[in-house]
């Protein structure tokens, strides 16, 4: 009987030991911060660092996506001042309806192109330009919110050419 109890105890110990696995918890090394978790997820925060981390787990496997870096990085677009004030766009930012006003000293024609942030052409149109003020209303409300670039290419009847690029902010 004693051998059976020792054998059952030995089998019990061997059965429990593999169930005790190493547990991993996300760790952030920084001057100040913390780690918080609940049943729906976890949050790792640090002071003076930009943090974007998302973790998933399934069957004991952890996958962490994101980054923590000491500096803030961003993309930006430098705005060039308009060269001679011949073209203006208003309102800007716009809800998708805006007006292009062109003040021309002579007759000519203009090509208008609208590009998204990926450089894809989303609109193309031609305008006949008369001497003086010319106005064209454009409606791009169906476009996604974001930054667009309007490229203006003017060719005067005397062969003079001008071009400008203007940033348009589309907000809904």
**What are the per-10-residue average pLDDT scores of the chain (172 residues)?**
80 62 50 65 58 61 55 56 70 90 90 92 93 92 91 89 89 81
State the residue for tokens 């292009």: 100
CA distance 151 to 122: 11
Domain limits, CATH 2.60.40.2550, in the chain = 87-170
Cα dist from 15 to 1, 12, 130, 135, whole Å: 21, 5, 90, 83
Q: Full-prediction pTM beyond 0.85? A: no
Question: What is the structure's pLDDT at 78?
Answer: 61
**Topology of 87-170 in CATH?**
Immunoglobulin-like (2.60.40)
């Amino acid at each position: 009987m004693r051998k059976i109890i020792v054998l059952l105890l030995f089998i019990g110990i061997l059965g429990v030991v593999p169930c005790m696995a190493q547990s991993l918890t996300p760790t952030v090394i920084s001057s100040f911060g913390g780690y918080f978790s609940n049943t729906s997820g976890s949050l790792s925060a640090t002071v003076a660092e930009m943090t974007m981390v998302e973790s998933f787990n399934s069957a004991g496997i952890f996958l962490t996506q994101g980054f923590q870096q000491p500096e803030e990085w961003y993309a930006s677009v430098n705005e060039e001042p308009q060269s001679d004030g011949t073209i203006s766009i208003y309102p800007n930012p716009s809800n998708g309806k805006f007006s292009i006003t062109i003040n021309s000293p002579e007759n000519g024609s203009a090509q208008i192109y609208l590009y998204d942030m990926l450089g894809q052409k989303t609109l193309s149109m031609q305008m006949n330009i008369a001497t003086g003020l010319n106005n064209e209303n454009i409606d791009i409300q169906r476009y996604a919110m974001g930054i667009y670039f309007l490229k203006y290419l003017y060719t005067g009847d005397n062969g003079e050419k001008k071009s400008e690029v203007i940033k348009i902010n589309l907000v809904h």
